[in-house]
């Protein structure tokens, strides 16, 4: 089985977490084809929204993954998750599922609490994540409140510094929320720390994305 992973930005932590969770979920009899175009996220950050050219570049990465023989594609960037939503008809027609890394994470957050704290280092990730949470809440006939937590000055920090920054900000919202959600997969390695210190449900996307990939492969009869 071959899993295509599409990134718009990577960190070593993100790649390690995504591949580890996929292997844990699906097994080690898999191979990866990964594609990244950082200009997509750079353009979104600059413009403040997902532009037509950014969308087109992302679609090109999906097509490259299909041409490389991917059985399923994981969209690993929450900032462009709604682009993945928009191409589901093509996904079904091509027979290659395109899975959002954050869809099931957002669903879990809605199921587990009414007050959801969304942590992000990029403003461009906040709105798509909020939109997904609110859509799922409507689909499940549930009312939720979203508490934003945008973390400034996080780029370029080492792991210890980033964990400290995450904890500092998580503690600011922990008394006001039922669930803390990490809007970016690169934050996932902080999950245990935030859970232990804040005593709240904490969700991050790599493990939920891996679960969704497994379910897609089962539906295709590959597992």
Q: The domain spanning residue 121 has which CATH number?
A: 3.40.50.1860
Residues 164 and 145 in one domain: yes
Residues 61 and 73 in one domain: yes
Residues 126 and 187 in one domain: yes
Q: How confident is the model at residue 197 (pLDDT cuts 50, 70, 90)?
A: very high
From 13, 197, 160, 185, select the one nearest 99 (Cα to Cα).
185
Residues 53 and 86 in one domain: yes
Full domain range(s) for residue 18: 2-101+207-219
Q: How confident is the model at residue 11 (pLDDT cuts 50, 70, 90)?
A: confident
Residues 156 and 166 in one domain: yes
147-161, 182-196, 209-223: the lowest-pLDDT one: 147-161
Cβ atoms within 10 Å, residue 121:
23
E-strand stretches of 69-193: 72-75, 98-100, 115-120, 145-150, 179-182
Q: What's the mean pLDDT in 13-42?
A: 95
Q: Which two tokens stand for residue 76?
A: 């690993």
Q: What's the mean pLDDT in 151-172?
A: 93
Residues 41 and 88 in one domain: yes
Q: How confident is the model at residue 106 (pLDDT cuts 50, 70, 90)?
A: very high
Residues 78 and 30 in one domain: yes
Read off the pLDDT of residues 51-102 as tens digits, 9 standing for 90 and up: 999 999 999 999 999 999 999 999 999 999 999 999 999 999 999 999 999 9
Residues 17 and 80 in one domain: yes
pTM score of the predicted model: 0.93
**Residue 155 clears pLDDT 80, i.e. is over it:** no
The CATH number of the domain holding residue 41 is 3.40.50.2300
Q: What's the mean pLDDT in 163-186?
A: 97
Give the CA angle between residues 31, 212, 76 to the nearest 5°.
65
User: What CA–CA distance (Å, rounded) separates 213 from 207?
Assistant: 10
Residues 12 and 69 in one domain: yes
Residues 135 and 90 in one domain: no
Residues 28 and 74 in one domain: yes
Q: How confident is the model at residue 47 (pLDDT cuts 50, 70, 90)?
A: very high
- If you average pLDDT over every residue of the chain, what do you get? 96
Q: What's the mean pLDDT in 101-129?
A: 96
Nearest-Å Rg of the Cα atoms of the chain is 17
The domain tally of the chain equals: 2
Residues 77 and 139 in one domain: no
């Amino acid at each position: 089985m071959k899993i295509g992973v599409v990134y718009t930005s990577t960190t070593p932590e993100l790649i390690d977490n995504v591949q580890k969770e996929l292997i844990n979920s699906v097994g080690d009899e898999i191979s990866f084809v990964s594609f990244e175009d950082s200009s997509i996220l750079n353009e979104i950050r600059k413009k403040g929204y997902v532009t037509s050219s950014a969308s087109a570049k992302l679609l090109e990465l999906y097509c490259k993954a299909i041409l490389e023989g991917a059985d399923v594609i994981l969209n690993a960037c929450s900032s462009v998750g709604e682009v993945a939503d928009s191409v589901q008809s093509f996904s079904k027609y091509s027979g290659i599922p395109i899975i959002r890394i954050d869809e099931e994470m957002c669903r879990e957050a809605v199921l587990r609490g009414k007050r959801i704290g969304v942590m992000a280092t990029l403003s461009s990730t906040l709105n798509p994540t909020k939109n997904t949470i609110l859509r799922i809440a409507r689909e499940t006939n549930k009312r939720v409140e979203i508490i934003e937590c945008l973390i400034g000055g996080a780029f370029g920090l080492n792991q210890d510094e980033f964990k400290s920054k995450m904890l500092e900000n998580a503690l600011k919202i922990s008394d006001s929320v039922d669930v803390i959600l990490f809007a970016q997969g690169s934050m996932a390695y902080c999950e245990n720390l935030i859970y232990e210190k804040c005593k709240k449900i904490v969700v991050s996307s790599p493990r939920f994305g891996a679960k969704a990939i497994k379910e897609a492969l089962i539906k295709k009869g590959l597992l």
